[in-house]
Amino acid sequence: MWWTYALLSAVFAALTAILAKIGVKGVDSNVATAVRTVVILGLAWLVVALQGNLGAVSTISQRSLTFLVLSGFATGASWLFYFKALQAGPASLVSALDKSSLALTIILAGLFLGESLTLKTAIGCSLIIAGTAVIIWPT
C-alpha cells in the first residue's frame, strides 16, 4: 500500500510544480508560499477532523512533537526556497534539482536512522545524482 501512496505523492508533486510555476508569476514568492501553506493547513486539519482524530493531537509525545515541529521548519524552508527558485528558473530544472533530495534523504537515513545502504541503493543514489547533473547542466 505504501507504494500506491508514494506514487500518488509523486503525481501530485509534479502537478504542484506546474501549478506553482503558473501561480507564482508576478507574485512575491513568500506570499505564494504563505497562500499555499494556508490551503495545506486547512486541508490537513479537514482530513484529521473527518477521520475523527482531533483528539489524537493531545496524545503526541513530547519527543514526537519536537521532531514534527523541526520537520515543519524544514518543510517551510524547503517551500520558501522552492517557490523562490520556481520564480527565477524553469519548472523542469527546479523540480529536477529539488527531487535530488531523494539522494540526500537516502544518505541521511543511513547516517541518522540506521537504514542500510546496500550496493543497489548506492548505485541508484549515484544514478539519481548523475541524472540530476545531466538535466540541470547548461547546454
Q: Cell triple for residue 114?
A: 540506521
For residue 10, pLDDT beyond 90: no
pLDDT at 139: 80
Whole-angstrom distance, CA of residue 20 vs CA of residue 90: 12
Q: What percent helix, strand, coil does the chain show, rounded to 5?
A: 85, 0, 15
For residue 30, pLDDT beyond 90: yes
For residue 85, pLDDT beyond 90: yes
Question: 61: helix, coil or strand?
Answer: coil
pLDDT at 3: 87
